[in-house]
Structure 1
Amino acid sequence: MEVKCLLLLALFLLLGTHGGEAQPLVPAVMTFGDSSVDVGNNDYLKTIIKANFPPYGRDFKNQVPTGRFCNGKLATDITAETLGFESYAPAYLSPDASGKNLLIGANFASAGSGYYDHTALLYHAIPLSQQLEYFEEYQSKLAAVAGSSQAQSIINGSLYIISAGASDFVQNYYINPFLYKTQTADQFSDRLVGIFKNTVAQLYSMGARRIGVTSLPPLGCLPAAITLFGYGSSGCVSRLNSDAQNFNGKMNVTVDSLSKTYSDLKIAVFDIYTPLYDLVTSPQSQGFTEARRGCCGTGTVETTVLLCNPKSIGTCPNATTYVFWDAVHPSEAANQVLADSLLAEGINLVT
């Protein structure tokens, strides 16, 4: 709590003022990745991987399900607010995206997506490569609204967040015989990290200079993973957690290499693994009571329209003490903990 207060104080002091109003630390936030950061792009796709219906959004503003895979705010929502933004990041595919929204950033993420394009294609989601194409299109729209010079300044100064990889493993590798019988998890990790490296190179060439990438969470601690791969155990699946840690190690090495390759690039890994693992293994220490099940339904397998829907039986009345909202995604309360970690690790990106 003391560290959090000091961090918030530091951010407050860093926020500039103009006309009596605090100004964001960065001109915009651009987000790429999967369901952990999708704010509604999948609402406009023909896919079952959606969250634009109750009980999703139950604790969000006006209790509206927006397409966020959560009962309330995502970690990136909370992070953007702390950086000085009042508006939630707009979904890029939203037909009513305004010039104002363009000026505060955009969310290109798509639930079911990952570093490996085939993961997204399995679920009719937006592949990461397509998200980058949408970003290029966004730049043209931004220039039309703000002018070329101002648009370039926004693009260079914005914070870019990439959150992917979990879907590649849980929704593809572990259930796809073609993958797990032809390559080891270590080899698959190398493949994903290579795609990540190319993605950063592309973003850099398009003007990005502040990039934060999330690590993999403890995959073996997700309620759905325990149900599907735990063989009756109620504890985290160590094999899956080891795969996640191996991937995260490779990611750290790659980020260090990229920072040396591009001298004017600020890049950092946001460690999601440690704070979420701590929540799962010691929930009471941070005010949580349930870490084995999600709030929605039985909390063991439910996610998206598949069982987490208005007819889900057993959904908890209060998600504030649950680490997970559904069987895969953290609750808003847990996202607050993750956001605090993101801010602590990424403060150098915005200063």
Structure 2
Amino acid sequence: MDMHSFLNSCFLLVLLCLLNISTINSAKPLKQETVLFGGKFPALYVIGDSLVDSGNNNYLATKVKSNFTPYGSDFEGGKATGRFSNGKTIADYIAIYYGLPLVPAYMGLSEEEKNNITTGINYASASCGILPDTGKLMGKCLSLSVQVDLFKETIANNLKKNFKKSELRKHLAESLFMTAIGVNDYAFFFNMTTDANEFANKLLHDYLIQIERLHKLGARKFFINNIKPLGCYPNMVAKTVPRGSCNDPLNLAISIFNTKLRKSLSHMTQKFIKTSFLYSDYFNYMLGLRGPSSNQVGSSLLNVTSPCCPDVYDGGLITSCSPGSIACKAPDTHIFFDPFHPTQLANYMYAIACFHERSICHVLKN
């Protein structure tokens, strides 16, 4: 990094420090119609993949884990929790914004703890996706439908012990349901011979079935993240020509799904009364961190192409952050902590873009 880039990075870090996490807690909604931003939620229920997994894979027979250092180096106490980052995830920052505790992983809870928790549970599972077979080559994980099954069990076995029928209905209707899933379906099953439109339609069909299941179970407020631009992630850009540029065909295929998802959610606001959808354009948020152009390498104030862990990365399939890996000394100079997941700083910047700038998160209307 040259001196100019270094100074720019320092400036950005100072700016973010001045913004402080407390500003997320104290921020006021800019517009009344952004009801989800202005709402006060009793609980946050999280469904997704490694972007928001808070430790479920710790308890599963899978190769995809992050319960070891250097993961968690900037988390509270410097402890690896099973989050795929050096610190907090975007789900953590959503909880912080709404004044809720960080949401615990379902698989790590005892039955007594499940009975006593009413502020939300995290069901997300790294390597899994919308399709039931996604990620299974890496071992066991919790697919989207399984996560909804577990939430259904939470209602039947745990929440009903804390709430009367009418109170439970109110609790579920007022809680926030966050989803962030789908990229692993592309990582495992999409290739350049796949029809992008047909693949998107298949994923969307299966995805919306689970959204409708959540609605039938009582969910009324949804925080939906679209799929990230996998084609710009370190594991991809290490293999592109020129090296460091995005895999545009892959990103285009994902954008087709994202466009269909947003349109479908807008239609669902007509289908379901008293139901709100907040759509988070995570795809364009991550592209924006690269700079004015998604293929403009080095235009950002941060390292946009190489992960922090391992600190030497050649793009090999098995070259990832593992026990014994050496991480970079300054994760805040990177967008990515490992080849597949963002740093805490990138997740914090997401929270600013979502809650303060309102450039990423929008409440959909019919």
Shared fold, TM over 0.5? yes
Pair 1:9 & 2:45 matched: no
1:17 aligned partner? none
Q: Please tell me the residue identity of whatever aligns with 2:147.
A: Q
Helix, strand or coil: the match of 2:57? helix
Q: Are the counterparts in 1 of residues 115 and 159 from structure 2 also a CA contact under 8 Å? A: no
Give the structure 2 partner of residue 75 of structure 1.
Answer: 90
**2:226 touches 2:279 (CA, 8 Å); kept in 1?**
yes
Per the alignment, residue 307 of structure 2 pairs with 294
Runs of 5+ unmatched residues, structure 1: 15-22, 175-179
Letter in 2 for 1:255: L
Task: Return the letter of the residue paired with 1:220.
Answer: G
Structure 2 residue aligned with 1:194: 205
Q: Residue 246 of structure 1 aligns with which residue?
A: 256
1:213 to 224, 244, 247: 224
Confirm or deny: 8 A CA contact 2:53 2:125 kept in the other structure: yes
Q: Does 1:142 align with 2:127?
A: no
Match of 2:141 in 1: 125
The amino acid that maps onto 1:253 is K
| Pair 1:29-2:44 in alignment | yes
Distance in 1 between residues matched to 2:221 and 2:104, nearest whole Å: 20
What secondary structure is seen at the aligned counterpart in 2 of 1:295? coil
The answer on 1:95 being equivalent to 2:109 is yes
Structure 2 gap ranges (5+): 1-14, 33-37
Q: Secondary structure at the match of 1:118?
A: coil
Answer yes or no: is the 8 Å Cα contact 1:217–1:272 preserved in 2.
yes
Aligned residues of 2:291 and 2:299 also touching (Cα < 8 A): no
SS in 2 for 1:268: strand
> How far apart are residue 195 of structure 1 and its match?
1.2
Alignment equivalent of 2:348, drawn from 333, 336, 339: 336
Q: C-alpha distance in 2, partners of 1:101/1:201?
A: 27
Per-residue CA deviation, residues 44-85 of structure 1 (Å, 9 max, x unaligned), is 100011111111111100011110000000011011101111
Alignment map for 1:300-339 (pairs within 5 Å)? 300-301=314-315, 307-313=320-326, 315-339=327-351
Q: TM-score, normalised by structure 2?
A: 0.82
Q: Secondary structure at the match of 2:290?
A: helix
Classify the secondary structure of the residue corresponding to 1:104.
Answer: coil
Q: Deviations over 1:278-316 (max 9, x none)?
A: 112369887x4311101001245489x963123224x20
> Does the residue aligned with 1:269 lie in a helix, a strand or coil?
strand
Q: 1:151 corresponds to which residue?
A: 168
- Quick one: which amino acid aligns to residue 167 of structure 1? N
User: For residues 78 and 141 of structure 2, what CA distance do their matches in structure 1 show?
Assistant: 25
- TM-score relative to the length of structure 1: 0.85
Query: Partner letter of residue 129 of structure 1?
Result: S
Aligned residues: 329
The letter for the 2-side match of 1:319 is P
Task: Give the superposition deviation at 1:196.
Answer: 1.5
Q: What letter corresponds to residue 143 of structure 2 in structure 1?
A: P
**Bigger Cα displacement from structure 2, 334-343 vs 52-61:** 334-343
Secondary structure of 1:31's counterpart equals strand
Structure 1 residues 139, 7: closer, same or farther in 2, change over 3 A? Answer: closer
Match of 2:324, SS?
coil
In 2, Cα distance between the equivalents of 1:319 and 1:6? Answer: 21
Q: Report the counterpart of residue 123 of structure 2 in structure 1.
A: 108
Counterpart Cα distance in 2 of 1:284 and 1:120:
32
Please name the residue that 1:164 is paired with.
181
Instruction: Say which is worse superposed, 327-336 or 245-254, in terms of deviation.
Output: 245-254
List per-residue Cα deviations over 1:242-269 (Å, max 9, x = no partner).
1121111111111111111112110122
What displacement does 1:99 show? 5.3
Structure 2 counterpart of 1:29, one-letter code: L
Change (3 A) 1:281 1:43: same
Q: Deviations over 1:207-254 (max 9, x none)?
A: 0000121111121110002234x2562211111111121111111111
For 1:293, give the aligned amino acid: S
Structure-2 residue corresponding to 1:51: 66
Cα distance in 1, alignment partners of residues 115 and 29 from structure 2? 24
| Distance 1:99-1:119 versus aligned 2 partners, 3 A rule | closer
Check 1:341–1:199 CA distance in 2 against 1; reply closer, same or farther (3 A cut).
Answer: farther
Secondary structure in structure 1 of the residue aligned to 2:121: strand
2:48 pairs with 1:38: no
Q: CA RMSD in A?
A: 2.9
